[in-house]
Amino acid sequence: MVSQDFIRAGRAVFTVSNGNGVHYTYKVTYKKPSGKFRETWFVSLLTGPNKEEDFSYMGMLGDDLQVRLTRNSRFTEDTVPFRVINWFLKLVRDGKPLPEGYSAHHEGRCGRCGRTLTVPESIESGIGPECAKKMGLAA
């Protein structure tokens, strides 16, 4: 399961699937605070064939782990991918499991630094051991 720590790690990429072949791949990226702007997470949706570059901006991730549309959003509140991401993030925030048949998986890279994950615990969490230590998540 994708965790809140993974989602807010800075470079999280994950896919939510309904088990019937419908899936959406999202990217959540972090921007450090600067000037009058506070730290921000931007949410994008994979919308093209290039899995590295074809992401379209959706909105900003709020403190309540819900996506907020902004004037630059390419989606509306009734767009299915927008409804799916907020539904999924609410389950994550509330610590609830996905319904039977649904799944969510990260891409096998650290959600913070983007390196390929190889340690079993890291593959499960989506955050490598070095980044987990830096984030205060390691024991």
The β-bridge partners of 60 are 42, 68
Three-state DSSP at 130 gives: helix
pLDDT tens column, 96-131: 999 999 999 998 999 999 999 998 988 888 999 999
Torsion angles phi and psi, residue 96, rounded to 5:
-100, 150
Three-state DSSP at 48 gives: coil
pTM of the model: 0.90
| Model confidence at 37: pLDDT above 90 | no
